[in-house]
Amino acid sequence: MPDDPEGGMLSWDESVFRDEHVFEIDYVPETFKHREGQMRNLTYALRPAVRGSRPLNVMVRGPPGTGKTTAIQKLFDEVGAQTSDVRTIRVNCQVNATRYSVFSRLFEGTFDYEPPSSGISFKKLFGQIAEKLVDDDRVLVVALDDVNYLFYENEASDTLYSLLRAHEEYPGAKIGVVVVSSDPALDVIDELDSRVQSVFRPEDVYFPVYDSPEIGDILDERVTRGFHDGVIARDTLEHVADLTADSGDLRVGIDLLRRAGLNAEMRASRTVERQDVDEAYEQSKYVNLSRSLSGLTDTELTLLEVIANHDGEQAGEVYDVFRDHTELGYTRYSEIVNKLDQLSLIDAEYTEVDGRGRSRSLSLSYEKEAVLDRLE
Protein backbone atom coordinates (compact mmCIF):
# COMPACT_ATOMS: atom_id res chain seq x y z
CA MET A 1 0.00 0.00 0.00
CA PRO A 2 2.17 2.89 -1.23
CA ASP A 3 1.97 6.04 0.87
CA ASP A 4 2.63 9.66 0.02
CA PRO A 5 6.45 9.92 -0.02
CA GLU A 6 6.18 13.39 1.46
CA GLY A 7 4.28 12.00 4.43
CA GLY A 8 0.81 12.91 5.69
CA MET A 9 -2.30 13.65 3.65
CA LEU A 10 -2.00 14.78 0.06
CA SER A 11 -1.94 18.55 0.04
CA TRP A 12 -4.83 20.48 -1.56
CA ASP A 13 -2.84 21.09 -4.75
CA GLU A 14 -2.04 17.39 -5.17
CA SER A 15 -4.46 14.72 -6.34
CA VAL A 16 -4.68 11.34 -8.01
CA PHE A 17 -7.14 13.01 -10.39
CA ARG A 18 -6.10 14.70 -13.61
CA ASP A 19 -9.74 15.78 -14.16
CA GLU A 20 -12.25 14.60 -11.56
CA HIS A 21 -15.20 15.82 -13.66
CA VAL A 22 -14.56 12.90 -16.02
CA PHE A 23 -16.05 10.64 -13.34
CA GLU A 24 -19.22 12.67 -12.84
CA ILE A 25 -22.43 10.99 -14.01
CA ASP A 26 -23.38 13.95 -16.23
CA TYR A 27 -20.00 14.09 -18.01
CA VAL A 28 -20.32 13.86 -21.80
CA PRO A 29 -17.24 12.09 -23.23
CA GLU A 30 -15.49 13.49 -26.27
CA THR A 31 -15.50 10.05 -27.87
CA PHE A 32 -18.67 7.99 -27.50
CA LYS A 33 -17.69 4.37 -27.95
CA HIS A 34 -19.71 1.29 -28.86
CA ARG A 35 -22.88 3.17 -29.80
CA GLU A 36 -22.08 3.94 -33.44
CA GLY A 37 -25.16 2.14 -34.78
CA GLN A 38 -27.52 3.89 -32.39
CA MET A 39 -26.00 7.27 -33.25
CA ARG A 40 -26.46 6.59 -36.97
CA ASN A 41 -30.13 5.76 -36.44
CA LEU A 42 -30.70 8.87 -34.33
CA THR A 43 -28.93 11.05 -36.88
CA TYR A 44 -31.07 9.58 -39.65
CA ALA A 45 -34.24 10.47 -37.75
CA LEU A 46 -33.18 14.04 -36.98
CA ARG A 47 -31.57 14.88 -40.32
CA PRO A 48 -34.82 16.35 -41.79
CA ALA A 49 -34.83 18.95 -38.98
CA VAL A 50 -31.49 20.35 -40.15
CA ARG A 51 -33.09 20.81 -43.58
CA GLY A 52 -36.03 22.69 -42.06
CA SER A 53 -38.54 19.82 -42.05
CA ARG A 54 -40.27 17.99 -39.23
CA PRO A 55 -37.96 15.17 -38.04
CA LEU A 56 -38.96 11.58 -37.53
CA ASN A 57 -40.12 10.71 -34.05
CA VAL A 58 -37.92 8.26 -32.15
CA MET A 59 -38.33 5.83 -29.29
CA VAL A 60 -35.05 5.15 -27.46
CA ARG A 61 -35.14 2.11 -25.18
CA GLY A 62 -32.66 0.35 -22.95
CA PRO A 63 -31.80 -0.41 -19.32
CA PRO A 64 -30.27 2.28 -17.08
CA GLY A 65 -26.61 3.10 -17.66
CA THR A 66 -26.47 2.11 -21.34
CA GLY A 67 -25.65 5.51 -22.88
CA LYS A 68 -29.09 6.78 -23.89
CA THR A 69 -28.86 10.24 -22.33
CA THR A 70 -25.28 10.69 -23.49
CA ALA A 71 -26.35 9.84 -27.05
CA ILE A 72 -29.09 12.49 -26.94
CA GLN A 73 -26.73 15.11 -25.53
CA LYS A 74 -24.07 14.34 -28.16
CA LEU A 75 -26.58 14.50 -30.98
CA PHE A 76 -28.17 17.72 -29.76
CA ASP A 77 -24.72 19.30 -29.49
CA GLU A 78 -23.99 18.32 -33.08
CA VAL A 79 -27.29 19.73 -34.32
CA GLY A 80 -26.63 22.99 -32.46
CA ALA A 81 -23.19 23.25 -34.05
CA GLN A 82 -24.65 22.84 -37.54
CA THR A 83 -27.60 25.21 -37.44
CA SER A 84 -29.42 27.77 -35.30
CA ASP A 85 -32.71 26.95 -37.04
CA VAL A 86 -33.30 23.89 -34.86
CA ARG A 87 -34.09 24.22 -31.18
CA THR A 88 -33.22 21.07 -29.21
CA ILE A 89 -34.53 20.69 -25.67
CA ARG A 90 -34.00 17.73 -23.34
CA VAL A 91 -36.54 17.43 -20.53
CA ASN A 92 -35.73 15.29 -17.49
CA CYS A 93 -39.09 13.64 -16.80
CA GLN A 94 -37.88 12.27 -13.50
CA VAL A 95 -37.98 15.88 -12.32
CA ASN A 96 -40.72 17.14 -14.66
CA ALA A 97 -43.35 14.41 -14.47
CA THR A 98 -46.47 16.34 -15.56
CA ARG A 99 -47.53 17.77 -18.89
CA TYR A 100 -47.51 21.31 -17.49
CA SER A 101 -44.00 21.02 -16.05
CA VAL A 102 -42.72 19.53 -19.33
CA PHE A 103 -44.10 22.47 -21.28
CA SER A 104 -42.72 24.90 -18.70
CA ARG A 105 -39.25 23.53 -19.53
CA LEU A 106 -40.04 23.84 -23.26
CA PHE A 107 -41.09 27.45 -22.70
CA GLU A 108 -37.83 28.13 -20.87
CA GLY A 109 -35.81 26.50 -23.65
CA THR A 110 -37.69 28.45 -26.32
CA PHE A 111 -37.62 31.91 -24.75
CA ASP A 112 -34.50 31.56 -22.56
CA TYR A 113 -36.41 32.58 -19.46
CA GLU A 114 -38.86 30.79 -17.18
CA PRO A 115 -42.62 31.19 -17.57
CA PRO A 116 -44.59 32.92 -14.79
CA SER A 117 -44.84 30.68 -11.74
CA SER A 118 -48.63 31.08 -11.65
CA GLY A 119 -51.53 32.55 -13.55
CA ILE A 120 -50.78 31.09 -16.98
CA SER A 121 -52.91 28.26 -18.34
CA PHE A 122 -51.51 25.29 -20.20
CA LYS A 123 -53.26 26.41 -23.39
CA LYS A 124 -51.62 29.82 -23.26
CA LEU A 125 -48.23 28.35 -22.33
CA PHE A 126 -48.41 25.93 -25.25
CA GLY A 127 -49.68 28.59 -27.62
CA GLN A 128 -46.78 30.94 -26.91
CA ILE A 129 -44.26 28.16 -27.58
CA ALA A 130 -45.88 27.13 -30.86
CA GLU A 131 -46.32 30.71 -32.09
CA LYS A 132 -42.68 31.47 -31.34
CA LEU A 133 -41.59 28.47 -33.39
CA VAL A 134 -43.75 29.53 -36.32
CA ASP A 135 -42.63 33.18 -36.15
CA ASP A 136 -38.95 32.19 -36.06
CA ASP A 137 -39.42 29.39 -38.61
CA ARG A 138 -37.61 27.03 -36.26
CA VAL A 139 -37.90 23.29 -35.83
CA LEU A 140 -38.24 22.03 -32.25
CA VAL A 141 -36.84 18.64 -31.24
CA VAL A 142 -37.95 17.54 -27.78
CA ALA A 143 -36.28 14.68 -25.89
CA LEU A 144 -38.45 13.35 -23.08
CA ASP A 145 -35.71 11.65 -21.07
CA ASP A 146 -36.90 9.00 -18.61
CA VAL A 147 -40.36 9.24 -20.18
CA ASN A 148 -41.34 6.29 -17.99
CA TYR A 149 -41.91 8.77 -15.16
CA LEU A 150 -44.67 10.41 -17.21
CA PHE A 151 -46.32 7.00 -17.48
CA TYR A 152 -46.04 6.44 -13.73
CA GLU A 153 -48.00 9.67 -13.21
CA ASN A 154 -50.48 8.97 -16.06
CA GLU A 155 -49.27 12.08 -17.91
CA ALA A 156 -47.58 10.51 -20.94
CA SER A 157 -50.51 10.35 -23.35
CA ASP A 158 -51.63 13.94 -22.79
CA THR A 159 -48.06 15.24 -23.10
CA LEU A 160 -47.32 13.38 -26.33
CA TYR A 161 -50.72 14.19 -27.80
CA SER A 162 -50.11 17.92 -27.35
CA LEU A 163 -46.67 17.71 -28.97
CA LEU A 164 -47.68 15.47 -31.86
CA ARG A 165 -50.82 17.43 -32.72
CA ALA A 166 -49.28 20.89 -32.42
CA HIS A 167 -49.17 21.47 -36.17
CA GLU A 168 -52.94 20.98 -36.44
CA GLU A 169 -53.73 23.84 -34.07
CA TYR A 170 -50.73 25.95 -35.07
CA PRO A 171 -50.05 25.47 -38.80
CA GLY A 172 -46.35 25.71 -39.53
CA ALA A 173 -45.27 24.38 -36.11
CA LYS A 174 -42.68 21.66 -36.67
CA ILE A 175 -42.01 19.49 -33.63
CA GLY A 176 -40.23 16.14 -33.40
CA VAL A 177 -40.26 13.96 -30.29
CA VAL A 178 -37.61 11.60 -28.91
CA VAL A 179 -38.92 9.50 -26.02
CA VAL A 180 -36.29 7.84 -23.87
CA SER A 181 -37.34 5.00 -21.57
CA SER A 182 -35.16 3.23 -18.99
CA ASP A 183 -37.89 0.83 -17.84
CA PRO A 184 -37.43 -2.51 -19.64
CA ALA A 185 -40.87 -3.65 -18.46
CA LEU A 186 -42.67 -0.65 -20.00
CA ASP A 187 -44.20 -1.10 -23.45
CA VAL A 188 -44.43 2.54 -24.43
CA ILE A 189 -46.74 2.12 -27.41
CA ASP A 190 -49.18 -0.26 -25.70
CA GLU A 191 -49.48 2.04 -22.69
CA LEU A 192 -50.44 5.11 -24.76
CA ASP A 193 -54.02 6.14 -25.50
CA SER A 194 -55.35 5.07 -28.88
CA ARG A 195 -55.52 8.74 -29.98
CA VAL A 196 -51.75 8.96 -29.50
CA GLN A 197 -50.98 5.55 -30.97
CA SER A 198 -52.62 6.63 -34.21
CA VAL A 199 -50.06 9.42 -34.75
CA PHE A 200 -47.00 8.19 -32.88
CA ARG A 201 -45.12 5.78 -35.15
CA PRO A 202 -41.55 6.24 -33.96
CA GLU A 203 -38.25 4.86 -35.16
CA ASP A 204 -37.06 2.32 -32.59
CA VAL A 205 -33.48 2.64 -31.29
CA TYR A 206 -32.41 0.10 -28.68
CA PHE A 207 -29.43 0.44 -26.32
CA PRO A 208 -28.38 -2.97 -24.93
CA VAL A 209 -26.32 -3.48 -21.80
CA TYR A 210 -22.59 -3.04 -22.48
CA ASP A 211 -20.68 -6.32 -22.53
CA SER A 212 -17.51 -6.81 -20.46
CA PRO A 213 -14.97 -5.83 -23.17
CA GLU A 214 -16.97 -2.68 -23.97
CA ILE A 215 -17.13 -1.75 -20.28
CA GLY A 216 -13.38 -2.24 -19.94
CA ASP A 217 -12.72 -0.11 -23.01
CA ILE A 218 -14.95 2.76 -21.83
CA LEU A 219 -13.59 2.74 -18.28
CA ASP A 220 -10.02 2.61 -19.59
CA GLU A 221 -10.60 5.84 -21.50
CA ARG A 222 -12.12 7.49 -18.41
CA VAL A 223 -9.05 6.45 -16.42
CA THR A 224 -6.72 7.92 -19.06
CA ARG A 225 -8.56 11.24 -19.03
CA GLY A 226 -9.46 11.36 -15.36
CA PHE A 227 -6.46 9.97 -13.43
CA HIS A 228 -2.79 10.84 -13.59
CA ASP A 229 -0.53 8.24 -15.20
CA GLY A 230 0.11 5.16 -13.09
CA VAL A 231 -2.66 5.80 -10.55
CA ILE A 232 -4.56 2.57 -11.21
CA ALA A 233 -2.98 -0.73 -12.27
CA ARG A 234 -4.43 -2.88 -15.06
CA ASP A 235 -5.58 -5.70 -12.76
CA THR A 236 -7.34 -3.18 -10.46
CA LEU A 237 -9.13 -1.63 -13.42
CA GLU A 238 -10.18 -5.10 -14.58
CA HIS A 239 -11.66 -5.68 -11.13
CA VAL A 240 -13.67 -2.45 -11.50
CA ALA A 241 -14.86 -3.63 -14.92
CA ASP A 242 -15.96 -7.00 -13.51
CA LEU A 243 -17.99 -5.34 -10.74
CA THR A 244 -19.54 -3.01 -13.30
CA ALA A 245 -20.48 -5.88 -15.60
CA ASP A 246 -22.13 -7.69 -12.68
CA SER A 247 -24.30 -4.63 -12.03
CA GLY A 248 -25.23 -4.15 -15.70
CA ASP A 249 -24.95 -0.37 -15.26
CA LEU A 250 -21.96 1.57 -16.60
CA ARG A 251 -22.70 4.38 -14.15
CA VAL A 252 -21.72 2.05 -11.31
CA GLY A 253 -18.22 1.70 -12.74
CA ILE A 254 -17.79 5.42 -13.36
CA ASP A 255 -18.91 6.27 -9.84
CA LEU A 256 -16.76 3.45 -8.49
CA LEU A 257 -13.60 4.89 -10.07
CA ARG A 258 -14.27 8.30 -8.55
CA ARG A 259 -14.95 6.96 -5.07
CA ALA A 260 -11.94 4.65 -5.22
CA GLY A 261 -9.78 7.64 -6.16
CA LEU A 262 -11.13 9.58 -3.19
CA ASN A 263 -10.44 6.60 -0.93
CA ALA A 264 -6.83 6.51 -2.15
CA GLU A 265 -6.47 10.20 -1.35
CA MET A 266 -7.88 9.60 2.12
CA ARG A 267 -5.00 7.17 2.63
CA ALA A 268 -2.59 9.81 1.31
CA SER A 269 -1.77 7.35 -1.48
CA ARG A 270 -0.86 8.18 -5.06
CA THR A 271 -2.28 4.90 -6.35
CA VAL A 272 -5.72 3.28 -6.28
CA GLU A 273 -5.58 -0.21 -4.82
CA ARG A 274 -8.10 -3.05 -4.86
CA GLN A 275 -9.13 -2.32 -1.27
CA ASP A 276 -10.08 1.22 -2.33
CA VAL A 277 -12.31 -0.27 -5.01
CA ASP A 278 -13.96 -2.82 -2.73
CA GLU A 279 -14.70 -0.22 -0.06
CA ALA A 280 -16.09 2.17 -2.68
CA TYR A 281 -18.31 -0.51 -4.18
CA GLU A 282 -20.42 -0.61 -1.02
CA GLN A 283 -21.66 2.85 -2.04
CA SER A 284 -21.35 2.75 -5.83
CA LYS A 285 -23.50 -0.36 -6.22
CA TYR A 286 -26.45 1.75 -5.08
CA VAL A 287 -26.10 4.43 -7.79
CA ASN A 288 -29.42 3.46 -9.35
CA LEU A 289 -31.15 3.41 -5.95
CA SER A 290 -29.89 6.91 -5.12
CA ARG A 291 -30.96 8.18 -8.52
CA SER A 292 -34.46 6.71 -8.15
CA LEU A 293 -34.87 8.19 -4.67
CA SER A 294 -33.82 11.64 -5.88
CA GLY A 295 -36.90 11.81 -8.11
CA LEU A 296 -39.47 10.92 -5.45
CA THR A 297 -41.75 13.35 -3.65
CA ASP A 298 -41.81 13.65 0.13
CA THR A 299 -45.01 11.61 0.25
CA GLU A 300 -43.49 8.84 -1.88
CA LEU A 301 -40.38 8.79 0.30
CA THR A 302 -42.60 8.54 3.37
CA LEU A 303 -44.31 5.45 1.99
CA LEU A 304 -40.97 3.87 1.12
CA GLU A 305 -39.80 4.44 4.68
CA VAL A 306 -42.99 2.88 6.03
CA ILE A 307 -42.51 -0.16 3.81
CA ALA A 308 -38.88 -0.43 4.94
CA ASN A 309 -40.05 -0.58 8.54
CA HIS A 310 -42.89 -3.00 7.74
CA ASP A 311 -41.11 -5.12 5.15
CA GLY A 312 -43.16 -8.05 3.86
CA GLU A 313 -46.46 -6.97 5.43
CA GLN A 314 -49.78 -6.85 3.58
CA ALA A 315 -50.77 -3.71 1.66
CA GLY A 316 -53.71 -2.99 3.94
CA GLU A 317 -51.55 -3.11 7.06
CA VAL A 318 -48.94 -0.84 5.46
CA TYR A 319 -51.67 1.58 4.42
CA ASP A 320 -52.89 1.96 8.02
CA VAL A 321 -49.42 3.18 9.04
CA PHE A 322 -49.03 5.36 5.94
CA ARG A 323 -52.43 7.00 6.53
CA ASP A 324 -51.38 7.93 10.06
CA HIS A 325 -48.41 9.79 8.56
CA THR A 326 -50.16 11.47 5.61
CA GLU A 327 -53.97 11.19 5.93
CA LEU A 328 -54.10 10.28 2.22
CA GLY A 329 -56.80 8.02 0.83
CA TYR A 330 -56.31 4.45 -0.36
CA THR A 331 -56.56 5.32 -4.06
CA ARG A 332 -53.58 7.67 -3.92
CA TYR A 333 -51.75 5.18 -1.73
CA SER A 334 -52.28 2.45 -4.32
CA GLU A 335 -50.98 4.74 -7.09
CA ILE A 336 -47.78 5.37 -5.15
CA VAL A 337 -47.35 1.64 -4.45
CA ASN A 338 -47.62 0.98 -8.19
CA LYS A 339 -45.03 3.67 -8.94
CA LEU A 340 -42.53 2.31 -6.40
CA ASP A 341 -43.08 -1.15 -7.85
CA GLN A 342 -42.53 0.11 -11.42
CA LEU A 343 -39.30 1.77 -10.28
CA SER A 344 -38.17 -1.59 -8.86
CA LEU A 345 -37.79 -0.01 -5.42
CA ILE A 346 -40.27 -2.49 -3.96
CA ASP A 347 -41.84 -5.82 -4.88
CA ALA A 348 -45.64 -5.76 -4.68
CA GLU A 349 -46.68 -9.38 -5.10
CA TYR A 350 -50.16 -10.83 -4.76
CA THR A 351 -50.48 -13.62 -2.22
CA GLU A 352 -53.38 -15.61 -0.83
CA VAL A 353 -54.48 -14.48 2.64
CA ASP A 354 -56.65 -16.82 4.72
CA GLY A 355 -60.25 -15.62 4.73
CA ARG A 356 -59.43 -12.46 2.74
CA GLY A 357 -58.64 -13.68 -0.75
CA ARG A 358 -55.72 -12.19 -2.65
CA SER A 359 -53.73 -9.29 -1.22
CA ARG A 360 -50.42 -7.66 -2.08
CA SER A 361 -47.45 -8.07 0.21
CA LEU A 362 -44.97 -5.20 0.02
CA SER A 363 -41.24 -5.73 0.40
CA LEU A 364 -38.11 -3.78 -0.44
CA SER A 365 -36.04 -4.62 -3.51
CA TYR A 366 -32.89 -3.42 -1.71
CA GLU A 367 -31.39 -4.05 1.70
CA LYS A 368 -33.32 -2.19 4.39
CA GLU A 369 -30.25 -0.37 5.71
CA ALA A 370 -29.27 0.83 2.23
CA VAL A 371 -32.70 2.40 1.75
CA LEU A 372 -33.02 3.93 5.21
CA ASP A 373 -29.50 5.38 5.08
CA ARG A 374 -30.41 7.23 1.89
CA LEU A 375 -33.72 8.47 3.28
CA GLU A 376 -32.04 10.31 6.17
Per CATH, the homologous superfamily of domain 36-206 is P-loop containing nucleotide triphosphate hydrolases (3.40.50.300)
In this prediction, residue 356 carries a pLDDT of 62
| Cβ atoms of 60 and 68 closer than 8 Å | yes
**CATH code, 210-289:** 1.10.8.60
CATH code for 296-375? 1.10.10.10
Annotated ligand binding at 222? The verdict is yes
Q: What does the domain layout of the chain look like in residue ranges?
A: 36-206, 210-289, 296-375
Residue 110 is assigned to a ligand binding site: no
Residue 339 annotated as lining a ligand binding site: no
Q: For residue 359, list its beta bridge partners.
A: 351
Q: Where are the alpha helices (DSSP H) in 187-248?
A: 188-191, 194-197, 212-226, 234-247
Strand partners, 274: none
88 is in an annotated binding site: no
pTM reported for the whole predicted model = 0.89
Tell me, what amino acid is at 156? Answer: A
Residue 149 annotated as part of some ligand binding site = no
> For the chain, which ranges sit under pLDDT 50?
1-10, 12
pLDDT of residue 117: 80
In angstroms, what CA-CA distances link 121 with 99, 100, 108, 109, 132? 12, 9, 15, 18, 17
Cβ pair 144, 109 in contact under 8 A: no
Outline where 153-211 has alpha helix (H).
156-164, 166-169, 188-191, 194-197
The whole-number pLDDT of residue 351 equals: 79
Rounded CA gap, 46 and 237, in Å?
A: 37
